[in-house]
Structure 1
């Protein structure tokens, strides 16, 4: 009897055209966990304001990172899936889905169901837990599976930021760079609205969040706090790489307004340049596959900001994508 694995990443437009990008943004931003406001307000904001005005701008950005083969995120995710299938062998069936757009979760689960597996392992490919990513993905998986007549054993992974093999995979990627040659190291994570962190704290930890020192250690109250997960990821990487305390910063990118998690990555980069930094090494440990946020936002936009204020070079540490050590790590995360 086979076991099944479903890998799930966030998603990507089917093509970089404005219509396809608009379709992706419509599905993504209408998710109640992503924009967690009044449903009527969300509908107006997303469908009448954001998507009509943002589709063309975002389309240009996607075109800048698109390859002849397609979306970098999708290509690397499929390569990861194929390598993991080889690693796990014939006792497993491995499928890939995207939370938004294709291949969609429903189709991937149907392929798995046809194999009549004894057990299904669900792995959202987000190292740090967040309601808007992991929570939304697992909710959609359960929404699809609850319709089945037979529901097999199901195992899911909600976070793996502190798994030793995940950390060691990032460390190996970092060691391709000579860290002492850089003036500063920036750990840049995708941002979230502060209200989502506070809601998670109220639900799971009893309103203990202070948006400050409470994230200095992982406790039973903040073990599912995205902010705490990010800072712990940084601590483990800094320890493994022997980076001095005054030589690194944890920050958050991709904000929509000033009520998102701080410090903001673009502002940190600006300040570093103004203070004389010439070379910065940037990690993006919230992303396991290179995408718009790593290739373009960090690799292009942030470098422009850095150079504009006197800096010389931003070097991005590649995401794990489908390198062999990461494939081994995924296997361990699933089977541990």
Structure 2
């Protein structure tokens, strides 16, 4: 264990409703979908769309989905983040708190708890639990944490850990967490990432002339890749496949959790679940590396709905590989990231 005076750490994840009740789910969905980096329409239109159409229709169904995966202790995502916090404390002797982009605990609560543990903290290291840069995930979490740091006029410095989608330690940890599942007989491994609208990819292109404009843009070197989600998930998948010696043709990438009717990045995971059995893939493994903690999008959307869709389409075996969660090598990697910033 390594100690460092006057340092604190915040692990920041997506968030979860406080309970599976419809009012709590409504409150959570409203906060989430009203985020201008998630649905980046003008405020008034977004308010009408979210408050009058999406949330009233979606909340009861989402509440049922949360009920199906909820743990006795509470939200799986929250509990797994707490477990990561506990494991990290055993490796680094500094205060560690957790915060969520939506819901509780808030960044302010995390900052205040760090100051209670050590009123003399001079620097807080923020680790967004998002390996890849996306406007609707990594960016919004960082900006939210920065906003409350400035608004509350904290004296400590806030240091941000960059996306780590190709960091060797992260790739090793992800690969090792997946390796036992590849020892079984399988036909294909599908990396299913949370989707984003194509418009977000173009909007995030700092060159304004590369992403989705240059042929094979994800594989053509460009500074745009520093903020290109599609490029970064492609790199993660390629590195993990290479680390695990998965031959070309036995793995692929798709994107889940589409919302609305506009074009999102493709291929869509749901369509792959229907297509793959028709192409001879009967035994499927699915990994979801956009998430480091299992949550509604993995435990319900993939492990329940996705499995049903695949099996109904002619599949014979379906296995969702858990996220890195609190895999020991992942905890070691988080500790390494924090030490490097110290």
Same fold (TM over 0.5): yes
**TM-score normalised to structure 1 length:** 0.95
Assess if the C-alpha contact under 8 Å between 2:122 and 2:155 holds in 1: no
Q: Distance in 1 between matches of 2:306 and 2:284?
A: 11
- Report the counterpart of residue 28 of structure 2 in structure 1: 24
The equivalent of 2:247 in structure 1 is 244
Contact 2:8 2:121 in 1 (8 A): yes
Partner residue, 2:293: 289
- How do 1:251-330 and structure 2 match up within 5 A? 251-256=254-259, 257-330=261-334
Asked if the contact 2:125–2:159 (Cα under 8 Å) also holds between the matched residues in 1, the reply is yes
* SS in structure 1 of the partner of residue 286 of structure 2: strand
After superposition, where does 1:52-131 map in structure 2 within 5 Å? 52-89=56-93, 92-114=94-116, 115=118, 116-131=120-135
CA distance in 2, matches of 1:253, 1:31: 20
List runs of 5+ in structure 1 lacking aligned partners.
none
Range with bigger deviation, 228-237 or 251-260: 251-260
| Separation in structure 2 between the aligned mates of residue 149 and residue 255 of structure 1, nearest angstrom | 38
Segments of structure 2 that go 5 or more residues without pairing to the other structure are none
Cα contact 1:128–1:159 (8 A) shared by 2: yes
Distance in 2, Cα, partners of 1:138 & 1:28: 15
Q: For 1:142-161, list aligned pairs within 5 A.
A: 142-149=146-153, 151-161=155-165
Instruction: State the alpha-carbon separation in 2 of the partners of residues 310 and 250 from structure 1.
Output: 20
Q: CA RMSD in A?
A: 1.5
Please point out which of 194, 199, 205 is paired with 2:203.
199
Match 1:231 to one of 229, 234, 242 = 234
Partner of 1:169: 173
SS of the equivalent of 1:209 reads: coil
The 10-residue stretch of structure 1 (284-293 or 272-281) with the greater mean CA deviation from structure 2: 272-281
Alpha-carbon distance in 1 for matches of 2:301, 2:216: 28
Query: Aligned pair in 2 of structure 1 residues 316, 177: CA closer, same or farther (>3 Å)?
Result: same
Mean Cα deviation higher: 33-42 or 213-222: 213-222
Aligned counterpart for 2:187 among listed residues 173, 183, 186:
183
Alpha-carbon offset, residue 206 of structure 1? 3.1
What is the CA-CA distance between 1:2 and the residue it aligns to? 2.1
Distance in 2, Cα, partners of 1:29 & 1:4: 30
Query: Hey, which bits of structure 1, 4+ residues long, moved more than 4 A?
Result: none
Cα distance change on mapping 1:326 and 1:136 into 2, 3 Å: same
SS of the residue corresponding to residue 263 of structure 1 reads coil
SS of equivalent residue, structure 2 residue 253:
strand
- Counterpart CA distance in 1 for 2:182 and 2:304 is 21
- Count of equivalent residues: 332
CA distance in 1, matches of 2:154, 2:76: 36
Secondary structure of residue in 2 paired with 1:158: coil
Matches of 1:217 and 1:332 in 2, distance apart?
31
